[in-house]
Chains A and B, each alone.
Chain A
Amino acid sequence: AQTVTQSQPEMSVQEAETVTLSCTYDTSESDYYLFWYKQPPSRQMILVIRQEAYKQQNATENRFSVNFQKAAKSFSLKISDSQLGDAAMYFCAYRTNTDKLIFGTGTRLQVFP
């Protein structure tokens, strides 16, 4: 069975600085998708970024980028130029070949002015 591990329960960053959130996963599948979701206090899940496992190039979305290491089964999220609005819970997720999303335990990100 697939598992997703986020080893950082909480992280903090100063506004305008860069922070990296870690995620590792375990799977025997060769083709899959990985996601980072943001959940602000409103509890609405927001897709931050998506990575397709067969693509070697790391995904980027404006200030958000990932470091995808397939062999190491690592999928970290880098947030550049952090903003106060980035404060939220961040969940790493793996999508199985039966289309189910498996979430990590989350990392709470605090952004200080």
Chain B
Amino acid sequence: GAVVSQHPSWVICKSGTSVKIECRSLDFQATTMFWYRQFPKQSLMLMATSNEGSKATYEQGVEKDKFLINHASLTLSTLTVTSAHPEDSSFYICSAARPQRGNYEQYFGPGTRLTVT
């Protein structure tokens, strides 16, 4: 159990267009999901925390109008990169929080590689 999927696994888009990335918890309900960004050979940086039914909380320096996050159900969160530019090219990873033994555990999706040309 505790499987998190992301779609697409990779996407190429043209500069100026928007692209949507989906994150799904397949076998559990997640009230909280997280979105990370990872540049080549670097660590994961938290972009935002997504709570079902409410607005996402963005980390300092992350443009909320550029990276739109929607968490419409307990199993789905989406990240839309609007007006994409080449510098937005990166690896985007989501995680979903699964309640476990009075606590919770974060389970990660396989990531989405975004290339903006």
Contacts and interface: CB of A to CB of B under 8 A. Distances in A.
Interface of A: 42-47, 50, 91, 99-106
A44 B110 contact: yes
Interface residues of B, number: 19
30 contacts: A42-B110, A43-B38, A43-B91, A43-B93, A43-B110, A43-B111, A44-B108, A44-B110, A45-B44, A45-B93, A45-B108, A47-B105, A50-B105, A91-B43, A91-B44, A99-B32, A99-B97, A99-B104, A100-B49, A101-B34, A101-B44, A101-B106, A102-B46, A103-B43, A103-B44, A103-B45, A104-B43, A105-B42, A105-B43, A106-B43
A47 B95 CA distance: 12
A48 to B, nearest CB: 13
B8 to A, nearest CB: 14
Contacts of A47: 105
Interface of B: 32, 34, 38, 42-46, 49, 91, 93, 95, 97, 104-106, 108, 110-111
Contacts of B95: 45, 101
Lowest 10 CB-CB distances: which A-B pairs, in order? A45-B108, A103-B43, A43-B111, A103-B44, A44-B110, A105-B43, A106-B43, A100-B46, A91-B43, A43-B91
A55 to B, nearest CB: 12
Contacts of B46: 100-102
Contacts of B38: 43
A44 to B, nearest CB: 5
Contacts of A50: 105
Contact of B111 (A44, A99, A103, A105): A44
Contacts of A91: 43-44
Contacts of B93: 43, 45
